[in-house]
Each structure stands twice: as structure tokens, then as C-alpha cells.
Amino acid sequence: MFAYPQAMMRTLARLLLPLFAVAALVAASVAARPAAAQTTTPTTPMVGTIPVVLLSVGGATYHLSTLSIPLNKAQCDAGAKLSFQLTLPAGGANLGFIQVWQGNNCNAANTRTTTTSTVTCQLLQTFVTSSTDTRVTYSVDPKALCASSATWHLYFLDTASDAASTDEIAKFGQYDLKVDIDPPTPPTGVSGGKGETQIPVNWTAPAGDIYGYTVLWDTNVTAGGSAGTPSIDAGAASDDGGTAAASTIGDDPGCVSSKLRGGVAIDFNHLPAGVGRLDIKEKSTTTSLSADEIGASLNSTVAVAVVALDLAYNPSKLSNVSCVRVVHTLGFWDTYKANGGSADQGCAVSAVGHHAGERSTPASAFTIVAALLGVSLRARRKRS
């Protein structure tokens, strides 16, 4: 077995002992340090004594991942019921009725007294509750809340009467509901490119908070010509392929779509036949369309337009309509060969930058260093 010279071992010991001592002192210091106090993120305090949770809107819960997402225009127009769940205090009899008020500080008596000038609340609905209920669910009609975009304060009051209560309420819960019925402005500057398998589309984002975009396309277009003035609006287009109203923005005259016109509202629940869509759930202002997925053949032209969606999922009107074209594209190798380029067969390489059979410099250097180290250690052993 190979043995290290005693002098070398003594030298190593003198060098390493101080390092071990320092490491031990550091470890002892860390162990003696008191544990840091754990901190928790403060939560928003509940308003009132009754917790209130919005379960669904119109039976759909898709938009409730965050409570900041407002009620939108489509939900208001559909009269989507708001389903709220209340957890009533345990251990005490409920008074018999839950009244839903809209306004400010509706638990205070003077805000609900019709004989004073301080009335700021409106009674929306009244529900009967049992004295033994601890968790109840009520559906509230949003009609009174959908007149304008605003944040509405809803108060759920536990009362002893089905008449409009004018008493000070001790047991109540509050829920702040946002309503946004104003659509964003359309994207602008939509431009289409060329490609064989992936065709780029770009646009400029509108002002305001945008959740995402929907790209629409129509493969049945007319090249050039005038857009004309069709008779029905895109929002009322039927599934059998209705015609859109004339553009109000100024579309690309290179391709005319009878179903997509800039500046016109479109009904996503009744898209015209032949119109496809791609939903983009991010704020990116560029994407690409797959020629295969949109059903576009080689040397064809496709009309595209973009719709913006705000945080409440209100859609904008259509952007300007632009043209994208599916064309054959040449890669570098195709272009090289088309211009008369050629390539030799080449030769095998065993290492980067060396011919086959040649030993690489790093391996040779390692061998030389290892040999020198062995000679040095043997010489030291003989002297000792």
C-alpha cells in the first residue's frame, strides 16, 4: 500500500487543525442562537359576525379562483343568480329571517330608516331561516346590481321580521361584489405574416387591465375588392354562416371576409360557420397559427382578427382584420443547395478540433502531470 511521507502528514495536520477549530466554534454559535420567530401573513378581517362566501354565478364557479374577478356584462344580461353561502353563529338561536341589503354600513339603523335623509341602503331580498340552521345557501338576483360598473356592498342581516328592518343589527355579514359591464377597447395594428406550418400574428394591446385575447380566423376569403355593406351584425350571425356588418376600422383590402369585420361586436356563443378561434390566456401580443389546425392549404390566404378580454372576461369588439398567407418556405440547406452549394463527405472526428486517431491535449496533459507527481512522491519517500 502506498504510504505518505511522515513529514507531509505532519505538515497537513498543522494546516488542518486550525480550520477544524474554527468550524467547531461556528457550529456551536449557530446551535446556541435562538430560533427565529415564525411570522404569518395577516388575513383580511371578516366584516360582521357571519362569514359570507360566493359559491357560484349562474351555477358556474370557473371565475371564482379569485374574489377580485368582477361580475361581467354577459352574466348580468343572462340574469345569472349569485349563490352565497352563510355560516351562522353556532350556539345561539337565529332570529328567523336573513335580509339582503345593498349599500353602505347597512347594519346601522339610520342607513335603513326611510324617514331620514341618511338612507344609503336598499333591501334586495328576504329569506326565511330556521333557528337551528348553521350553514345556509341563498341565490340573490343581481338585476339591481347590474345597472353600472361599481363595487357593491352586500349585507346579510339576521332579523326577527320579514319587513324592512330599522333596528341596529348585531349579527350580519358583508360581501363586496364588483360589477364590470364595460368592455375594453379593441386591439390595434393586427398584422399577419407568411409561413408554411406556423404563421405569425402580432397586434398592439389596448389600454387598461387585460386578461387575455382570442384570435379569430376565416379561411373562406375573397382576395382584394371592396368589403361592401352586408346587412346583419356579427353578433347576430347565425351558425349557418351569417354575414358581418361593414368594418368601422379599416381592414386589409388584400383579403375580404364576409364574417369578420373590424370594429364589430361578435357573439362567441354563436360564431359564424367557418370561423375558428384560439384563446390566449396571457397578455402576450404575439402568437402563431398552425396551418394544419386552421385548415389552411398551401398558397391560401386567411383573414385574422383579435378580441381583447378584460379581467371580468368582457370581450372587446373585433380589431382590424389582417391577412396571413400559407406559402412554401425554404430553410438554410434548401437555399444553399438552390444557389449551387454542395458538401463533401467529411471525415470522422474523435474529439472536438482533432483528427481521428489523434490524442486530445487535455488527456495528454493529465498523463504527464500524473507521471511527474508519482516521481516526486517516490523521491520524497526515499529521502525520508
Query: Would you state the pLDDT for residue 244?
Result: 46
Query: Would you state the pLDDT for residue 24?
Result: 55
Rounded Cα gap, residues 293 and 91, in angstroms: 61
- 235 falls in which pLDDT band (50, 70, 90)? very low
Query: Would you state the pLDDT for residue 43?
Result: 38
Query: Would you state the pLDDT for residue 107?
Result: 85
Query: Would you state the pLDDT for residue 10?
Result: 63
Rounded Cα gap, residues 24 and 31, in angstroms: 11
Least confident range of 10-24, 173-187, 297-311:
10-24
Query: Would you state the pLDDT for residue 149?
Result: 92
Q: Give the position of cell 362567441.
A: 268
DSSP one-letter code for 120: -
Per the rule left: phi > 0, alpha: psi between -120 and 50, beta: everything else, 29 is alpha
DSSP one-letter code for 346: -
Least confident range of 152-166, 211-225, 232-246, 359-373:
232-246
Q: Is the pLDDT of residue 58 over 80?
A: yes
Q: Is the pLDDT of residue 222 over 90?
A: no
Query: Would you state the pLDDT for residue 355?
Result: 42
| Digit-coded pLDDT (tens) for 307-366 | 999 999 999 999 999 999 998 876 665 556 666 666 555 454 444 444 434 444 444 444
Kindly state the average pLDDT of the residues 234-249: 42
Which segment, 2-16, 209-223, 324-338, is predicted with the most confidence on average? 209-223
What's phi and psi for 52, nearest 5 deg? -125, 130
Query: Would you state the pLDDT for residue 105?
Result: 85
CB 304 within 8 A of CB 257: no
The one-letter code for the residue type at 307 is: V
Kindly state the average pLDDT of the residues 261-275: 91
Query: Would you state the pLDDT for residue 321?
Result: 94
Least confident range of 29-33, 133-137, 211-215, 325-329:
29-33
Query: Would you state the pLDDT for residue 369?
Result: 44
Instruction: List the one residue out of 172, 274, 266, 176 whose CA is nearest residue 219.
Output: 274
Fold annotation for 52-180: Immunoglobulin-like (2.60.40)
Q: Is the pLDDT of residue 125 over 50?
A: yes
Query: Would you state the pLDDT for residue 380?
Result: 53
Kindly state the average pLDDT of the residues 61-68: 48
Query: Would you state the pLDDT for residue 241?
Result: 40
In the chain, % of residues over pLDDT 90:
24
Q: Where in the chain is the domain with CATH 2.60.40.10?
A: 188-326
As a CATH number, domain 188-326 is 2.60.40.10
Kindly state the average pLDDT of the residues 170-193: 91
Query: Would you state the pLDDT for residue 203?
Result: 97
CB 125 within 8 A of CB 19: no
Cell numbers representing residue 333 in the block: 440547406
Which pTM does this prediction carry?
Answer: 0.63
What's phi and psi for 9, nearest 5 deg? -65, -40
In the chain, % of residues over pLDDT 70:
60
Q: Is the pLDDT of residue 32 over 90?
A: no
Rounded Cα gap, residues 260 and 319, in angstroms: 9
Query: Would you state the pLDDT for residue 181?
Result: 94
Rounded Cα gap, residues 286 and 233, in angstroms: 28
CB 384 within 8 A of CB 7: yes
Q: Is the pLDDT of residue 250 over 50?
A: yes
- 48 falls in which pLDDT band (50, 70, 90)? confident
CB 84 within 8 A of CB 120: no
Least confident range of 84-88, 213-217, 327-331:
327-331
Q: Is the pLDDT of residue 42 over 80?
A: no
Name residues whose C-beta falls within 8 Å of residue 116's C-beta, 6 or more positions apart in sequence. 110
- 31 falls in which pLDDT band (50, 70, 90)? very low
Query: Would you state the pLDDT for residue 55?
Result: 85
Query: Would you state the pLDDT for residue 240?
Result: 38
- Residue, of 74 and 120, whose pLDDT is higher: 74
Kindly state the average pLDDT of the residues 218-225: 76
CB 312 within 8 A of CB 72: yes
CB 306 within 8 A of CB 317: no
DSSP one-letter code for 107: T
Per the rule left: phi > 0, alpha: psi between -120 and 50, beta: everything else, 79 is left
